[in-house]
Each structure stands twice: as structure tokens, then as C-alpha cells.
Amino acid sequence: MSSDVVTFTQQLINGLTLGSVYGLIAIGYTMVYGIIGMINFAHGDIYMIGAFHSLIAILVLGFFGITWVPLALVFVLVFAVGLTALYGWAVERIAYRPLRGSSRLAPLISAIGMSILLQNFVLLAQGARGKPLPHVTEDQFGKVPLFSGDGITAQITHEQIMIILVTIALMIGFTLAIKRTSLGRQQRACEQDMKMAALVGVNIDRTIALTFIMGAALACIAGLMVTLYYGFIDFYIGFVAGIKAFSAAVVGGIGSLPGAMLGGLLIGFIEVFFSGYVSVDYKDVAAFGVLVLVLIFRPTGLLGRPEIEKV
Amino acid sequence: MRKLALPIIAAAFASALAITPAWSEEIVIGMAGPITGDLAEFGAQLVRGAEKAVEDINKAGGVLGKQLKLEKGDDQCDPKQAPIVANDLISKGVVFVAGHFCSGSSIPASSVYAEEGILQITPASTNPKFTDEAPSNLTFRTCGRDDQQGDFAGPWVAEKFKGKNVAIVHDKSPYGQGLADLTKAAMNKAGLTEVVYEAITAGEQDYTALVTKMKDSKIDAIYFGGYHPEAALIVKQAREQGLEAPLLSGDALNTLEFATLAGKASDGVMFTNAAEARNLPSAKAVVEEFRAGGYEPEGYTLSTYAAVQVWAAAVAEAGTTDSAKVAETLRGKEWDTVVGKLGFDAKGDLTSAAYVWYVFKDGNYAEAGSM
């Protein structure tokens, strides 16, 4: 096997991992936009809060000496996802619900305010320094060599496998949930026509709150996986990740669930391959350049439906 | 309106009190650095060093018979914040500033200080531009310069990795890029050309694409110009992908926090810095007092202490806090400080700055010796 193939495969794995994380966060943007037509700019910070709760949960486990992985994982998931979902719900309840029905810009500004608030809250509560994952967990993860050639080996770490598998599973789960369950039906009803949905008995406030909770839970899982994968987090990680994931949602077609995933993978791949074969310095230029191109030729994104003028 | 009148009058009085340090029997000096932000570790070192120096000077009777008062400014190493912090310190009446930390902050702040005729001594900013393109002759440093550091690191790398593949990576900051480019120039002159030259964006978490690229180029050593959070991520991700090339860097890795962040991957990471000041006989008493207070004076703590110390000594000798006279006095002779004898040249740089290699091992670092 030539070294080109090995390098390409390795970059493919890097891109898949990065894209999966972007995709998971992007789903939160896209679901909220689909239902109430606003960009939840605080979503990147919800992801950051999810990462912090995950780290706190892991530290608590370490304190009690619980190292059996399945039990630990369940505990971390319940603790971190639960709390982060609470944040997602609270953000909607405090910052967006009172503004529902007012101008389109009001909740947008409110979202930006929420984002600044959450960032500074964590800055004050947790301090500005990066928080490392304690090394107790470091040895539990290994790597799987795939194949080698010309002296280098393509390999995938257990964290990368976990990120990719979890993302696929959640993606399928959520798509089915929205297609098949009654909550999904209510969400789709709200998306089409909120007033009409209310008239036929859909509890709109509850549906929207649940959408925020679902988005926050996904962001938290992304945060947990990033904490495990990169090994340290700080209060500012939500900003860059939020912007990338938002771009992913827009490229894929905001409002579309598979679109968010596709957009996330696309941005991840562009960043990684541009870094790998052209220049690391200009990878963001490449990623956002593609965003511009997509928006010029398909203003609704790759999988987005054109907005029908409601009369 | 009447309801507002009282608070307004009170506020007016309060502000009048705030801007009258002139009649107090105190000399106000400033200290600035990243007290918050992801380089807060270094800000803490600067704060500790400056506080201790002020405390010791005051205990010994102050300067010109007056006590020193320390004002702190937090620039978060943000070039946009630095001039704001500088103006804030000026409004508090400082006559001298020990700081800032990042070259990217020290340089913009220096033009603000120059306008007001305030003396600035940085304990940590190593970018040559700080003194080479200084807006006044009131800028000094108690640390080396990146070209001195690069001239030390470059030939060493060229010799040690002769005929091998070296990657040069920097974070686009004035410090990181400056150091990487000067090391690269010195390395090229010594006969070794790098195989990979890349710039990363600080503040991101994923550098796996860069690591794979270096793996593909069969890199034997990575020289990184930048700060410890990114260095930790790069070296961790390199080890995860099986790239075992040693990471070499500059003085900004001069903190144990790097080992905390990088974990086991920090083993074997090397960086250049001035010879360990904590071992000097001149630092013994101060280091012991720091340790007695439960603080390990690592990194830039002692060079910050020295910055305040040397300023106070020059003021005492000049008999005034007038910056131009103090600057002239500073250049005039060699000064005894905690970090040994310091002399300043016409630009305000140290007349001699010797660098050594340090290596991380088991979560700690030590001088690498002659190797």
C-alpha cells in the first residue's frame, strides 16, 4: 500500500470525526430553525456547557473510584445530558418564549445576549484556564491500526470509532423519532403552520420546549465526546464550534435534519483535506468559501426546501 | 431629576477622590498581563512576581521615602484589549508598568505608554519588534529576544536533526510566528531546511489534519512557535496517531500547566528559556519566601520581580520617578537583581541573554544539560 493511500485514509478518518461533531451540533441549530424560524446563537455555548457537565461528571466518578466503563458512561450521560437539557429548556423559557410573536429580530438579539451570558457565566464559575480531562481515563482508550504502507500506519482511535458510531446512531434515532413518533408529528405540524397546529390541539409551547431540550441533549453528547477525544476544554470552545456547526446547518439546508449531518461532514472534510493537501493556514477560508458558493447557487442549502410564500 | 441629584453629586465626589493619587504619599506602579483568558497561568506568575517585589520594597522603606502601590491590568493577551488596559493604568496614575506578557499586547500598549512618557519593562515579551520599533526609548525587557532564542535553537536543531525531516509550525501570534520564523532562519543558515511549514489557528481543538500531514512527511522533529494550550493539543494528537517526533518550542512552554494538559504526551517535549533563575544564589531568599507561602515561583515570576526591582533601584539612584531620567540611569550600569546581574543596551534589551534547553519528564521539567 503506498503512503498516499494511508495518508488519505487517515485524513478521511480525521474528517469523519470532526464532521460528526459539527453535524451533531448542527442538528440543534437546524431543528430550532425548522420549528420557530430563528437562529439559536446560544447553541454553541450549550455545547460548551455540555462539555463542562461531562467533565464534572467524570471527575465525580473519579472521586468515587468508579471505573467500570458501562456504568460510568451511563452515569455521565444521565448527569450531563440531564443538566444540559435543563439549560436548553431554561434558555428557551427565559430568552425566547416571552418574545414569541414579536419581530423576527428580537429573539435573535436575545440569543446573542444569551450566548454572551452563558460564556461569561462559565468563565466566572469555572475560571478561564483550560480544564484537562484527568488522566485516569487515558489508558482506557486505545487505537486500532488499520493498515500500513511505506513506514506509516493509518489508525483509528477508540474515541474516533465512538464518535462516528454514536453520531450515526443518534442521526438514525432522531430521523425516525421525527418521522414516526407523535412528538415528531407535532414538531412537523408546528414547522408547517404554528397557528393551525395550535387550533387542532398541538401544545405549541411544550413542543418547542421539547425541541430545545432535544437540541441541547445532542449538543451535550457532542460536548462529552469532544471532552473524551481532545482531552481538554475551556469556556470559549462553544464559539468556534458554534460558528462551524451553524455554517454546516446552512450548507446542508437549514431546517433539514439529514442536511445538517451532510453539511457537518462536508465542512469537516473540506477543513481536513484542505489542511492536508494545501495549507493549514487557509482551511477556514476554504470552508467558508464553499459556504458562499453553495449559498450563491442553492440559497436554501444542499438539502433545504425552497421556502413557500405563505399567503 | 431631584431624585438623581444626590447620586450624581456623590459620583462626582467619588471620581474626584479616584483621580487624586498625587497628594498621597504613594508611588503608583502598574502591572499588566493575562490575568484571565487561556494564558491566565502566566498572568498569575506576573501578578505574584510584581506583588512580592512591591511588598519587599515597601518593607525595606519604599522608594524615595514613599510606599509603592501596585495597580493590575488584565489584557487577556488580546491585542485590542492592551491599549485599553494601558489607558486604564495611566488614569490610575502609574509612573511605571511591568508588563505586558504577550508580545502581541506589549507592542500596541507601548505606544500608549510612550505618549504619556511612562516607563515599560516587560518580563516576558520576546518579539524583537518590541524594542527594535519602540515608539520611545522608555521600553525595556528583563527577558531575552526571539532572535537570541532562535539563534540558540536553530543551529541546535540543524545539528541534532541533520539530514532529517523537521516541521516548523506557528500560531500566527506575534510571539509564535516571530519565534518560529527566527528559529527557521537560524536553522536554514546552519544548513537544514524544513520539510513542512504551517500556521495553525489558536483556540481550535482539532489539529489532526496537521498531524497526519506531518506523519505523511515522516517528520522527525516538530518546532512549534506558540503557547502551551495548542502545543499540548498538537503533541497529544501526534502521539495518538503514532507520530513520535519530539516537540520543540520556546519559552512559553515554561509552565507545569503544559504537563497537566498534555499528560503523558508531555514526556520528552523540549523548550528553550533563560537559565533557571530559581537556582541562582541571588534568588535564594526570595524563592524560599515564595515556597514558604505555598507558591512555586516558576516561569516569569522572578523576571517580573526583577523588572520591578530594577526600576525601583534606578529610581532610587536617579532620585526621581521621571521616566526619561530613570531610563537613562537604567542604561548606565549593571544592576543586581534576583535573576543575577542585568545590563541594558541602548534599545533596552538585555546585554546578555543566555538560553538553555529544558525537557519535560513525568509531569515536570528540568534543564536538559549539555546533551
User: What ipTM is given for this predicted complex?
Assistant: 0.86
Cβ atoms of residues B275 and B356 within 8 Å: yes
What pLDDT sits at residue A210? 94
Q: In what order do the strands lie in the sheet with B139-141?
A: B67-74, B26-33, B96-98, B119-122, B139-141
Whether the CB of A155 is below 8 Å from some CB of chain B: the reply is: yes
DSSP A308: P
What pLDDT sits at residue A140? 47
Return the residue in A275, A283, A284, A285 with the most chain B beta carbons within 10 A, the one to mutate for interface testing: A275
Query: What is the C-alpha separation between B150 and B152, in angstroms, rounded?
Result: 5
Q: Which of B331, B325, B326 is nearest to B349 (CA)?
A: B331
CA distance B14 to chain A (A): 28
* Domain positions in chain B: 8-143+279-342, 147-275+355-367
Of A27 and B2, the one with more pLDDT = A27
β-bridge partners, B365: B360
Please give the residue of chain A at the shortest CA–CA distance from B234. Answer: A230
* Sign of the dihedral defined by the CA atoms of residues B330, B335, B337, B341, in that order: positive
The answer to whether the Cβ–Cβ distance between B229 and A232 falls below 8 Å is yes
Residue with cell 431631584: B2
Query: What is the C-alpha separation between A36 and A26, in angstroms, rounded?
Result: 16
Per residue in A102-145, pLDDT tens? 888 899 999 999 999 999 999 889 887 788 887 644 554 577 88
Query: What is the C-alpha separation between B109 and B93, in angstroms, rounded?
Result: 16
Amino acid at B245: A
* Sign of the dihedral defined by the CA atoms of residues A243, A245, A246, A248, in that order: positive
Across the interface, which of A128, A143, A276 has its CB nearest the CB of B213? A276
Q: What angle do CA B337, B26, B330 make, to 5 degrees?
A: 30
CA distance B176 to chain A (A): 14
Residue with cell 503514532: B242
- What's this model's pTM, rounded to 2 decimal places? 0.84
Please give the residue of chain B at the shortest CA–CA distance from A143. Answer: B240
The answer to whether the Cβ–Cβ distance between A152 and B199 falls below 8 Å is no
The answer to whether the Cβ–Cβ distance between B209 and A17 falls below 8 Å is no
User: All 3 cell numbers of residue B169?
Assistant: 509550525
User: All 3 cell numbers of residue B179?
Assistant: 519565534
β-bridge partners, B271: B249, B358
Report the topology of domain B8-143+279-342: Rossmann fold (3.40.50)
Report the topology of domain B147-275+355-367: Rossmann fold (3.40.50)
Q: Please say if the pLDDT value at position A81 is more than 80.
A: yes
Cβ atoms of residues B360 and B257 within 8 Å: no
Per residue in B345-367, pLDDT tens? 999 999 888 889 999 998 889 88
Cβ atoms of residues A252 and A26 within 8 Å: yes
Give A249: exposed, middle or buried? Use CB within 10 Å, 0-12, 13-18, 19+.
Answer: buried
Please give the residue of chain A at the shortest CA–CA distance from B201. Answer: A281
Please provide residue B116's backbone torsions phi and psi, each rounded to the nearest 5 degrees: -95, 5
Whether the CB of B220 is below 8 Å from some CB of chain A: the reply is: no
Average pLDDT across chain A, whole number: 88
Cβ atoms of residues B320 and B326 within 8 Å: yes
Cβ neighbours around B340 below 10 Å, total? 18
Residues in chain A within 8 Å Cβ distance of B200:
280-281
Sequence-distant (≥ 6) Cβ neighbours of residue B367 within 8 angstroms: B275, B276, B356, B357, B358
Per-residue pLDDT band at A37 (split at 50, 70, 90): confident
Whether the CB of A138 is below 8 Å from some CB of chain B: the reply is: yes
Per residue in A181-208, pLDDT tens? 999 999 999 988 888 999 999 999 999 9
Whether the CB of B222 is below 8 Å from some CB of chain A: the reply is: no
The answer to whether the Cβ–Cβ distance between B209 and A240 falls below 8 Å is no
The answer to whether the Cβ–Cβ distance between B208 and A17 falls below 8 Å is yes
Q: What share of chain A is helix, strand, coil (3-state, %, to 5)?
A: 75, 5, 20
Residues of chain B with pLDDT under 50: 1, 19-22, 370-371
Residue with cell 485599553: B84
Of B63 and A70, the one with more pLDDT = B63
Cβ atoms of residues B175 and B102 within 8 Å: yes
Q: Please say if the pLDDT value at position A282 is more than 80.
A: yes
The answer to whether the Cβ–Cβ distance between B213 and A14 falls below 8 Å is no
The answer to whether the Cβ–Cβ distance between B209 and A275 falls below 8 Å is yes
Fold identical between B8-143+279-342 and B147-275+355-367?
yes
Query: H-type helices in chain B, by residue range?
Result: 2-18, 40-59, 81-91, 103-116, 129-132, 146-160, 174-189, 208-216, 228-240, 257-262, 284-292, 301-318, 323-332
What pLDDT sits at residue B370? 45
User: All 3 cell numbers of residue A166?
Assistant: 454514536
Whether the CB of A309 is below 8 Å from some CB of chain B: the reply is: no
